[in-house]
Structure 1
Amino acid sequence: MIRVIYCSVLLSIFFSIATYAQKSYDWKQGAAGGYNYKYVTNDPTGTRFYTLKNGLTVILSKNTKEPRIAVRIAVRTGSNNDPKDHTGLAHYLEHLLFKGTDKYGSLDWEKEQPLLLKIENLYEQYNSTKDDAKRREIYKEIDKVSGEAAKFAIAGEYSKMMTALGAQGTNAYTSVEQTVYEEDIPANAIDKFLAIQAERFRNPVLRIFHTELEAVYEEKNRALDNDNNKMQEAMFSTVFPTHNYGLQTTIGTIEHLKNPSIKAIKEYYKKYYVPNNMAIIMAGDFNADELIAKIDRQFAYMRPAPLQAYQGTKEKDIEGPVVKEVFGPTAESIRLLYRSAPAGTRDALLANLASAVLYNGKAGLIDLNLNKQQKVLGAGAVLWQFNDYGVFFLVASPGQGQSLDDAKELIHAQLKDLKSGHFDESLIRAVVANNKLDKLQSLKNNASRVENLVDEFIKFKGLEWNKAIAMTEEMGKVTKKELVAFANRFFTDRNYVILYKRKGEDKNTVKVDKPPITPVVTNEDKTSPFVHSILETPFPAIRPVWVEYDKDLQKTNLSNAGVLYVQNRENELFELSYRFDMGNRNNKLLPVAAQYLEYLGTDKWSSEEISKQFYNLACSFNIYTGGEQTTISITGLNENFDKAVSLFSVLLKNCKPDLKALQGLQNTLFKARSNSLLNKGAIARALQSYAMYGASNPFNYTLSNNELKALQPEDLTNVLHALFNYQHRICYYGPQPVAGLIKKVKELHKLPSSWLPSPEAAKFERVPQESNKVLFTNYDAVQSEIFWVKNLSAYDSRQEALINLFNSYFGGDMGSVVFSTIRESKALAYATYAQISIPEKKNDNFSMVAYVGCQADKMNDAIAGMNELLNELPKTEGSFKNAQSGLMKNIETERITEDAIITDYLTAQQKGIDHDLRKDNYAQYGNLTLDDVYKFHKETLSGKHYTYCVIASDKRINPDELKKYGTLQTLSVNELFGF
């Protein structure tokens, strides 16, 4: 076993970057614009914490990089607080907060309200009735009255408003202790946005109830098909046998989903959706003094109420090891689970540090001793932290010919090393340095800021932000002695759970049966007065900003290599990349060689020592190989630019052939391939590629198992040694001036006098859909996955605007035609979409993929529903205008900056464009009409042939039924993957 011992040379490199001045993080009071707030000194995010008179928490973090604002509205309640007889309630309520109020979502509230009350009472009867025949009769009445009520409802008005505002990422999520509503809005839409949100929480109406409940059924069934989800549920139930973390799942039990109570949901809302239990959290471009006043005016109507927070039980110590098994069709894995301390405690900090010392993706004990040596397919350590407890889990996927217990013993060996102190104390300092680097990178991102602040509010009501900021420094104060003492106290031989994920039939799976639902009208062509007033009020103007490739990036040369340069004027981070116009289609060995490099050393350093050096430098490298492109990127702290670039160059040019490393890689790839044959997502990607290109396609263009087995170490090192002899561009984003950069790169990156000719790329011709075909692959699952695939015309940049607008209107989000019809009206699926893909290169084609994931017994209805939309496009002028407005506002507030300028330029070049294409699209959006979209649909999709890709269990559907949709071809996973 290799122990992680750092030599003096590595220590000197590390300490050159890891000396940081200690800062104080103290709470201070501030006041501005008539409002008091709290802030923390030396907070790099400059966050303000307000508490309004009604108890509402408002957290504001200003960031002016782009005129957008990331928003989270967080409620400190989740499945922990679900009533025992109505589990899943918090999650279902989250879905219903998108359905509107008495002011929007309704055509006539006075006529709709009595029908909704009738539905509410019918559900109470339904829940208290045990006789199956009577329950069916009551449900028929629920379905009937729901259809009548839907005539007065307007589905998706919330999503339409968000689309029209230019919002992105409209969504929500529920967990054990929180429910969070997500938006990302243009800065100039803040007034409208606040008006909508204030109305949203004023009086939510639980309309279109039974079809949305069916979507939750579908979500539950998808969870039953997801082995990772089953592992998570088993993890919580075994680690927390008496606490609601383990007693109640977020999505709820099947029994409770079948017996919902609208009354219980309303009571829950009144109890927990109160201002003293909620926070509005924003990061972005705003004036905090003005914004807090606006929020106060809009949400002052909210009244605080006494809170009944969940008081979790104190769990007894785990007396184990407790063993539990989970069965399913996917690959095997194992988890070792430990219950950890409450959030904010010293033990929680130590557990967090222990997880990074064990596994940080680069130089932890598990990284070096297991993953680097390929002793398992993959392993890691993670801490999930909650208010009352945390879960520390170590996970491993066994390698080729390895049992789960073999993997377990290898994990135990790493814990033994931690407990024995078989690591150098400088690893703790390296963890601190890399955490600081991660923080520096995350500051740029509004979404990262608000998510961190959500976590702070849920756990500590925003009262310990000073400790959150100081956590990395606190970790730096931990000594090796303290960490080892903690590990010996925490990782004992008895206080844990062993969770085995085994391949096999899950005999406990019981799907939620499909209730008889009559499709409801959605009235998506109608608009309520509230929404009309919101959308008709003009926005303050924000002018779009275009990228000017001749001004925003510098183009120069280094010998015979082109250089693209953008200066980083904000911080000390850099990214240097080498971009090659060749990939796995040019040489099948390239992606394997790129993986092989991770396990190689040089004459001077072992692979483990190289990983430690990069980690100590707070730098990293990555090689990405695509179809016809390969990118090598080196990133990190600019003060270590020379060392990191030089170190990578030495590694690439001097890596030594290593037979043992190759044999390990071969075993790893063989195991990964066998696992992918069990992965439904991988099978779906393989089927779609088969539908687009035929039996020989980009997905299965890879080394066969025999070719992989026959590889010799020199086959791969020769590829690596020669890589820099092929033509490539040098791209840089960082703080160095261009002249200094060129000088340094010239010294560090030696270029050949002439380039080697690149191997010709394999070509794949798209298959025209000249008749309807069905590709079917059998997979043991409750759900059926259905994809419609169609190859379209050759790429034309002039079509991009129309296609973007079509996608947004037809099948792109929750306000689209597909979502409204398939999910909200017909309740056929939880997940559905339809999108036309825009190719990356000018010599490729557009293509269309539509999707419905549904219960197997809904498959025929789902296919009929999507086919109807593909053949006849519903025309709704209001929805079209919202999509049009949203796309234009997205461009107005999008800012392509930093390294994205280089990426955007290279993408344009691939498409044969010499300018910012968004400028053309923006001009076109304003001139396009719904008739243009309708005509495009008619000419491109309506009445055309498709290839249906179906993944389902032949025990739940009859494959012969698929013949009515087209010529049936059953494909095994081996035929699809081509190994």
Structure 2
Amino acid sequence: MKKGTLFLLLFTFLYQTAWVQNKYVWKEGKSGNYTYKYVEGDPLNVRIYTLSNGLTVMLSPNKKEPRITYRMAVRAGSNTDPKDHTGLAHYLEHMLFKGTDKFGSLDWAKEKPLLDSIDALYELYNHTTDSAKRKAIYKQIDEVSGRAAKYAIANEYDKMMKAMGSQGTNAHTWVEETVYDEDIPSNAVDRLLAVQAERFRNPILRIFHTELEAVYEEKNRTLDNDSWKVSEAVHAGLFPTHNYGQQTTIGTIEHLKNPSLKAIREYYQQYYVPNNMAVIMAGDFDPDELIKKIDKAFSYMRPKPVKEYNPGPEQPIKGPVIKEVFGPSAENLTIAFRTGPYGTREDLLIKAIDRILANGKAGLLDLNLNKQQKVLGAGCGIRQYKDYGVFTFYASPKQGQTLDEVKALLLAQIDSIKQGKFDDKLLDAIIANYKLSELEAQDYNVYRTSLMVDNFIKTKGSGWNIRVTELDEMKRITKKEIVDYANQFFRDDNYVVIYKRKGEDKSIVKVEKPPITPVETNPDKQSDFLKQINSMPLSSITPRWLDFNVDLQKGQIDDMELLYVPNKQNSLFDLYFRYEMGSWNNKKLPIALSYLQYLGTDKYSAEEITKEFYQLASNFSVRSGTEDSYIQLSGLNENFEKSLQLLEHLIRNCKPNEQALAELKNRLQKSRANAKTNKSSILQGLNNYALYGPSNPFNYTLSDEELNNLTAEELVQIIHSLPSFKPQVMYYGPMSTADLTAHIRKAHPKPASWATVPPKAKFTRAEQTENKVFLAYYDMVQAEMTWVRNLAPYDFNKEAVVDLFNNYFGYGMGSLVFRTIRESKALAYSTYARVTTPSKKEDPYYIVAYVGSQADKLPEAVNAMNELLNQLPENEKSFEDGRVSALKDIETERIQKTDILFSYLATKRKGLNDDPRKAKYEKLKKLKFEDIKSFHNNYLANKPYSFAIIGSEKNMRPEELSKYGTVKVVSLEELFGY
């Protein structure tokens, strides 16, 4: 036996022995006919049931708001894809939204023979190699699919979920999991379970070829995503035999081009069985009642032996393994190590090392690289799977720095761990901050369900005690154990290095566009099953409005306005000093506030200040927006006074540091250059250019010359001047207003007179009087395009109409835009249209519509979006579902904690005094389809637009785009302002 293997077995033995002695032990409870397991002392009160058919149920009650987060987790992902059908688990996930023989169909008896014919044609297509014959078969598939679609009801699943008030309908597939998501009002449990039970009973693979085309588009998006390509390279390098590295989730192009519906069904029947699935829920429910309903809903499921993916062990890496990835985005470097299985001592030690290296404040990467500005930015992270984990270090170079220099700096931090060169107090601080983050997250159902899903996928819930006891187990780790393990784990040859270089990726093979005839989606039709679901009774949930005279206390600290919300739940606090000035008042302000983190005082170095805050389990940030700025402090209330005094000391006494400024300028120059290689940033700049013109908020920044001329003294003076401006004090926490006032007066005293806020830059929005095209070039497979137009001035009375219009027209899977452009015409993977409500009364409403598609599909996508913008099809049922959904969103929304403070600010910015949701709620009740049609006709239909387009210069030719409007190719310098 190898020495390393013996070492890890010893750690595992010691770890398992520790569990026996731990205070968190498994218990068994019983209610009615149901027994469940739970872990004593679990703060989330998770109950784990195993039903008679093997279905796992994990429930975590949480009464914070009248909503429930639901997940159906399946232990199947790209790991378990057949070797000759990679990507299968992923496009099966897509098909689970298409319905069954009971919903999604107008006439199942007539639809079924056509779907059987499509099945046979795909099998023939799959086994045919002759190009001409394949095209002929695909033409038949397209023709028969068109006939079958006449009996299909697209997105009926989404309609049912929307009608019950669900939010966030979605799903994802990854290496060893497929998970289906919903978030419902707590009164809709019966409807939810009825739909979910039917959904998994007999899924029908209808409207397949258009959905497969959406998956093609998703594949093309990954080809344009350099981060995705780096991730694939990391996995391939670390796992030369395991499917973690050998099969990608989206699959190969060859397999995507040759789908088999027969293989999809076989996969479904093999893995979508109750003993391989879990119903996971967190929220406002009684678990004793809920388990009965879940059991009844899913009792039809029958267990079946599941062949687990159980590969042989990976051999030790003998490297380092070096790989290069090319693409148009900025260069960076990744170093990755393969770690051990979930739930072992090794897993816990790696998590501790991860926090020692990077915790956002006092880790080695934080202090030695980021704080000292030795790289543009660095970090590390863990992606833990069942069989192994991936521990990555990543960094981006600053100006003039090579990737090999970055690599040396990252490896040096690993050496520091191995040599024990980290503060002995750091482990205690990690525990305190871990506890703080746990307290903050436990209120949220999404957090609870994500933990339960993760645990089920890796242990079927049997390892929940590992999760519950993690904090206590981490407390037992010693510095010596960390150092010993690091020397065993981090070697000179057992890692993968990915050099992400800027340049053309010559390996890209685009998924070609197949000929597809738009299919019927029957949006105005309903199945009997949908009618049955929507007729199920719902108990009422009374909306809860904010009363800004009760939920929020207003006062004065001297002549500073105080907004106060008491925290009666725990010992955490949030304090804000808000200043009504931002980058539009002073372009240097954001840079000055960013500079602060690199400065020390006459009493502390910058590193010592960071360590002090981390030891206090406190967080602070000083940030500037466009029109306001914040000094924020949060943490444990017991450390409030020390934390505030330290923060005030830093702001008032920080000292200029020329070297820090030189490094900051270098990094800002590199960040600015990198932004020009980021297609999302470029498209954001184009949208601003289209909405405002050449002078706009996006490019309102320092020129290169202005940046180079900045001095340390002037930036420090800006920081020192902050306390001279009158702030608005905002507090959420357990302290009384009297105690808070005393602390603020002592630490943040009022000056003799308040400074005058500099005047604010103003931007004039462009009036769209004719169609214009703003084009920017980017080396990419797809093309992305937006339609933008400034609309009416802000009027609160339009908000309800706008919300309902968005719901109906272009937001979500059931929207008109999604249904038409993706479902019917298969022109895009991502498409939407949304009218944005301004955040303040001085601004107008505006619309942004979007399509991301293959370049050769863009003309068709443009025509499809234009048709919808000019002519609004009427579907009274979809409209009513959207109206009900909007009402339910308001009924179940509970604004709490710091959100009360920011809701008050948002209300005041719009010139309102009371919670605006109340009036909006009453207005929503009365709206008719004619109201959104009138809005569409008055502001969108047959109006000129500005088009923002980003694509490859090889595909986007100005002369061809001129049919949409006058074309202007916008340079990156014009877009970014430098």
Judge same fold: TM > 0.5, yes or no.
yes
Q: For 2:63, give the aligned amino acid.
A: T
* Counterpart position of 1:3: none
- Please report how far the alpha carbon of residue 521 of structure 1 lies from its aligned counterpart in structure 2 after TM superposition: 0.7
Aligned to 1:114: 113
CA distance, structure 2, for counterparts of residue 775 and residue 212 of structure 1: 31
Partner Cα distance (1:79, 1:769) in 2:
47
Distance 1:614 1:294 in 2: 48
Q: Deviation of residue 958 (structure 1)?
A: 2.5
Q: What is the CA distance between 1:102 and its match in structure 2?
A: 0.6
Q: Note the C-alpha offset of 1:424.
A: 2.0
Q: Which residue of 2 aligns with 1:922?
A: 921
**Aligned-partner residue type, residue 745 of structure 2:** K
One-letter amino acid of the counterpart of residue 85, structure 2: H
What does residue 975 of structure 1 align with?
974
The aligned counterpart of 1:13 is: none
Corresponding residue for 1:101? 100
Residue 392 (structure 2) pairs with residue 393 (structure 1): yes
Q: Does the 8 Å CA contact 1:553/1:564 hold for their aligned counterparts?
A: yes
Deviation at 1:62, TM superposition (A): 0.5
One-letter code aligned to 1:126: Y
TM-score normalised by length of structure 1: 0.97
Equivalence for 1:270: 269
The 2-side partners of 1:304 and 1:958 are apart by 57
Partner of 1:627: 626
Partners of 1:906 and 1:313 in 2: CA distance: 58
Query: 2:336 maps to which residue?
Result: 337
**Cα-to-partner distance string for 1:64-102 (whole Å, 9 max, x where unaligned):** 010000111100110000000000000000000000011
Q: What is the Cα deviation at residue 754 of structure 1?
A: 2.5
Q: What corresponds to 1:957 in structure 2?
A: 956
CA distance in 1, matches of 2:906, 2:493: 55
Distance apart, 1:322 and its partner CA:
1.0
Partner of 1:293: 292
Alignment of 1:418-437 (within 5 A): 418-437=417-436
Which shows bigger deviation, 830-839 or 737-746?
737-746
**Alignment partner of 2:602: what SS?**
coil
2:855, 2:955 within 8 Å by CA — same for their partners in 1? yes
TM superposition shift of 1:532: 1.2
In structure 2, C-alpha distance between the alignment counterparts of 1:485 and 1:817, rounded to whole Å: 59
Specify the alignment match of 1:466 in structure 2. 465
Please name the residue that 2:609 is paired with: 610
Q: Which residue of 1 aligns with 2:585?
A: 586
Contact kept in structure 1, 2:77 and 2:90, CA below 8 Å: yes
Q: Which shows bigger deviation, 712-721 or 737-746?
A: 737-746
Does the CA-based 8 Å contact 2:594-2:623 persist in structure 1? no
Q: For residues 166-565 of structure 1, what are the structure 2 equivalents within 5 Å?
A: 166-565=165-564
Tell me if the contact between 1:312 and 1:388 (Cα under 8 Å) persists in the aligned partners.
no
Secondary structure of the residue that 1:514 maps to in structure 2?
A: coil
| 1:259 counterpart letter in structure 2 | N
Q: Deviations over 1:247-289 (max 9, x none)?
A: 1000000000000000000000000000000001111000110
Give the equivalent residue in structure 2 for 1:701.
Answer: 700
2:660 is aligned with 1:661: yes
Residue 467 of structure 1 deviates from its aligned partner by 1.5
Q: 1:312, CA displacement in angstroms?
A: 2.1
What is the CA distance between 1:974 and its match in structure 2? 1.6
Unaligned runs of 5+ in 2: 1-20
Structure 1, residues 498-532: CA drift from partner, whole Å, max 9, x if none? 11000000000011000000000100111111101
Give 3-state SS (helix, strand or coil) of 1:960's partner.
helix
Partners of 1:83 and 1:700 in 2: how far apart? 50
Q: Secondary structure of 2:698's partner?
A: coil
Who is 2:39 aligned against?
A: 40
Which letter maps to 2:349?
Answer: L
Aligned length: 958
Pairing 1:720–2:719 present: yes
Take 2:24 and 2:589, find their aligned partners in 1: how far apart are those partners? Answer: 49
SS at match of 1:577: strand
Q: Deviations over 1:628-650 (max 9, x none)?
A: 11122111111111111111111
Distance, in Å, in 2 between the alignment partners of 1:845 and 1:674 is: 32
Q: Distance in 2 between matches of 1:754 and 1:151?
A: 74
Amino acid of the structure 1 residue aligned with 2:976: F
| Deviation per residue, 1:161-218 (Å, 9 max, x gap) | 1111111111000000000001110000011011000000011111000000000000
Contact preservation (8 Å) 1:834, 1:848: yes
Partner of 1:598, secondary structure, is helix
* Mapped partners of 2:946, 2:955: distance in 1: 22
Note the C-alpha offset of 1:23: 7.3
Q: Is the 8 A contact 1:782 1:956 kept in 2?
A: no
Runs of 4+ in 1 over 2 A off after TM superposition: 956-959
Counterparts of 1:425 and 1:93 in 2: how far apart (Å)? 50
- Alpha-carbon distance between aligned partners in 1 of 2:256 and 2:138, rounded to the nearest angstrom: 14
CA contact (8 A) 1:336 1:497 kept: yes
1:52 paired residue number: 51
Q: Secondary structure of the residue that 2:255 maps to in structure 1? A: helix
Aligned mates of 2:424, 2:591 — CA distance in 1: 35
Deviation of 1:475 after TM superposition, in Å, equals: 1.4
1:579 CA drift (Å): 0.9
Q: Which residues in structure 2 correspond to 1:562-961 (within 5 Å)?
A: 562-961=561-960
Q: Which residue of 1 is the match for residue 11 of structure 2? A: none
Give the deviation of 1:545 after TM superposition: 0.5
| In structure 2, distance between residues paired with 1:772 and 1:956 | 21
Conservation of the 8 A alpha-carbon contact between 2:282 and 2:449: yes
Q: 2:526, 2:312 → 1: CA distance?
A: 49
Distance 2:710 2:690 in 1: 31
Q: Is the 8 A contact 1:857 1:957 kept in 2?
A: no
Q: Residue 286 of structure 1 aligns to a residue in which SS? A: coil
Deviation at 1:416, TM superposition (A): 1.0
Tell whether the 8 Å contact from 2:75 to 2:176 is kept in structure 1 after alignment.
yes
Q: Tell me: CA distance 1:766–1:782, structure 2 relative to 1, closer, same or farther (3 Å).
A: same
Q: CA deviation at 1:755?
A: 1.5
Q: Is the 8 A contact 1:398 1:407 kept in 2?
A: yes
Query: In structure 1, what residue type is equivalent to 2:96?
Result: L
User: Secondary structure of the equivalent of 1:926?
Assistant: helix
Per-residue CA distance 1:353-398 (angstroms, 9 max, x = gap): 1111111111000100000000000011111111111111110100
Q: State the distance in 2 between where 1:165 and 1:647 align.
A: 50
- How many Å separate the matches in 2 of 1:701 and 1:868? 35
Which secondary structure state, in structure 2, belongs to the residue aligned with residue 723 of structure 1?
Answer: helix
- The alignment's TM-score, normalised by the length of structure 2, stands at 0.97
Instruction: Give secondary structure in 2 for the equivalent of 1:849.
Output: strand
Q: After TM superposition, list the pairs within 5 Å mapping 1:121-140 onto structure 2.
A: 121-140=120-139
CA distance in 1 between counterparts of 2:68 and 2:191 reads: 13
**Hey, what does 2:29 align to over in structure 1?**
30
Letter in 1 for 2:609: I
Secondary structure, aligned partner of 1:612: helix
Identity of aligned residues (%): 56
Preserved contact between residue 47 and residue 59 of structure 1 (Cα < 8 Å):
yes
Instruction: Give the conservation status (yes or no) of the 8 Å contact 1:425–1:479.
Output: no
CA contact (8 A) 1:23 1:42 kept: no
Is residue 49–residue 462 contact of structure 1 (8 Å, CA) maintained in 2?
A: yes
Partner Cα distance (1:119, 1:687) in 2:
43
CA 624–161 in structure 1, closer or farther in 2 if over 3 Å, else same: farther
Residue 535 of structure 1: how far off its partner (Å): 1.5
The CA RMSD over aligned residues, in Å, is 0.9
Matches within 5 A, 1:152-163: 152-163=151-162
Match of 2:84 in 1: 85
Q: Distance in 2 between matches of 1:769 and 1:82?
A: 50
Kindly state the Cα deviation for residue 624 of structure 1 after the two structures are TM-superposed.
2.8
Distance 2:956 2:967 in 1: 14
- Verify the 8 A CA contact 1:877 1:930 in the aligned structure 2: yes
> Secondary structure at 1:303's aligned position in 2?
coil
Query: CA separation in 2, counterparts of 1:23 and 1:959?
Result: 69
Tell me the CA shift for residue 736 of structure 1. Answer: 1.0
Cα distance between partner residues in 2 of 1:753 and 1:312: 73
| Aligned counterparts of 1:159 and 1:958: Cα–Cα separation in 2 | 38
